[in-house]
Amino acid sequence: MDYKQSGVDIDAGNEVVRRIRSLAKGTFTPGVLSQIGSFGGLFSLSSTPMRDPVLVASADGVGTKLRVAFMTGIHNTVGRDLVNHCVNDILVQGALPLFFLDYLATGRLDPDVAVRIVEGLSEGCRENGCALLGGETAEMPGFYADGEYDVAGFIVGAVERAHLIDGRTISSGDVLIGLPSSGLHTNGYSLARRVAFEVAGLNVNDMVPELGTTIGDALLRPHRSYLPVIRPLLGRGLVKGMAHITGGGITDNLPRILPEGCGAVVDRNAWEVPAVFNWLQRQGGVPDDDMLRTFNMGIGLIVISARNDADAVIGTLAGAGESGARRIGEIQDGVGVRYA
């Protein structure tokens, strides 16, 4: 008995490493010192000189959106989902991404699928100016069904301590500015898949006239990165806090940055909920509260600013190409999120 017979193919793993090495190299920024294949990836901080640097790190996955990738056979978009999700998670604290690492686990490694996943990761990294510094490809026989995998991402960024955004100064009267999402992003897929594929009984390639596309395409639409439009706001003191609207929706994510004694009132009429959410709610008979605590409902990121700065924030966003930003509510004394 050798190792290959037991379900692990070291040579296939090495082949994947060779093919992804060139993809990763295409993402390397001046800070990267190492080649993929070192035990650890090396990143020099002297490439981004700061007086008092704070590292901001986050780990995340794609969740069961992966199953839509399995169903459609489209494996080169989930990597962008993952990178963009991670980029947004550190961006809301004011950090720019430095580097990213992935963990890809399968039952039996299909080199072509693995390469397509890493293509998505490296594309996402390049778009965000973030180096794909390394990762782990694990072949775990029996852990994952044939053709399935899980992928996790880990990002490290940095911010000058003086420019850290932590919500501490948020107070009553501040304004909530919502930025549009590009779809479900990476949250709510267990519910969305159940509604689309069980309750509504669709196949991934079925057209949904109301959405103007197939249900597979609608659900696979990549999680957007807010870095390009938020970047011009950083370090200018205009932003008191930002919340990335992920699992738990506005309901659970906005309170994560609110100081004690502060609540938020969100005006549900301030933006138009995208068709995909209305379609899911109607098909599944999902209560309003559950929709709001599961999906982003069309708002993927919320910026909180002083009332006097709100126009400057919206203007700066527009200048960076984000024309969909709008006031969606305000901070009031209280706790949690109230919808009006």
Q: Pattern 48-87, binding to its own copies, x per CB under 8 A?
A: ----xxxxxxxxxx-xx-xx--------------------
For its own copies, the binding residues in 145-174 under the rule CB under 8 A are 148, 150, 152, 154, 156-157, 161, 164, 166
**Contact (CB, 8 A) for 165 and 242:** yes
Of residues 137 and 316, the one with the C-beta less far from its own copies:
137
Q: Is 38 in the site for its own copies (CB under 8 A)?
A: yes
Of residues 37 and 319, the one with the C-beta less far from its own copies:
37
Stretch near its own copies under the rule CB under 8 A, chosen from 36-44, 108-116, 310-318, 330-338: 36-44
Q: Is 340 in the site for its own copies (CB under 8 A)?
A: no
Packing angle, helices 111-127 and 78-91, rounded to 10? 30
# residues near its own copies by CB under 8 A: 82
Going by C-alpha positions, the residue among 228, 210, 230, 226 that lies closest to residue 218 is: 210
Among 89, 119, 217, 322, contact with its own copies (rule: CB under 8 A):
89
Query: How far apart are the C-alpha atoms of 184 and 223, rounded to whole Å?
Result: 7
Q: Is 15 in the site for its own copies (CB under 8 A)?
A: no
Q: Is 90 in the site for its own copies (CB under 8 A)?
A: yes
Give the list of residues 6+ apart from residue 308 with CB closer than 8 angstroms, or none: none
CB-hemisphere CA count at 13 Å for 300?
26
**Contact (CB, 8 A) for 244 and 301:** yes
User: Residue type for 328, please?
Assistant: I
Stretch near its own copies under the rule CB under 8 A, chosen from 202-210, 282-290, 307-315, 331-339: 282-290
For its own copies, the binding residues in 238-267 under the rule CB under 8 A are 243-244, 247-248, 252, 256-257
Q: Is 37 in the site for its own copies (CB under 8 A)?
A: yes
Instruction: In angstroms, give the least distance from the CB of 83 to its own copies.
Output: 14
DSSP 145: -
Task: Classify each residue of 59-75 as buried b or exposed e, where b means 16 or more C-beta atoms within 10 Å of its C-beta.
Answer: ebbbbbbbbbbbbbebb
Of residues 59 and 318, the one with the C-beta less far from its own copies:
59
Query: How far apart are the C-alpha atoms of 138 and 37, rounded to whole Å?
Result: 15
Query: How far apart are the C-alpha atoms of 245 and 291, rounded to whole Å?
Result: 13
Among 18, 22, 26, 33, contact with its own copies (rule: CB under 8 A):
33
Q: Pattern 219-238, binding to its own copies, x per CB under 8 A?
A: --------------------
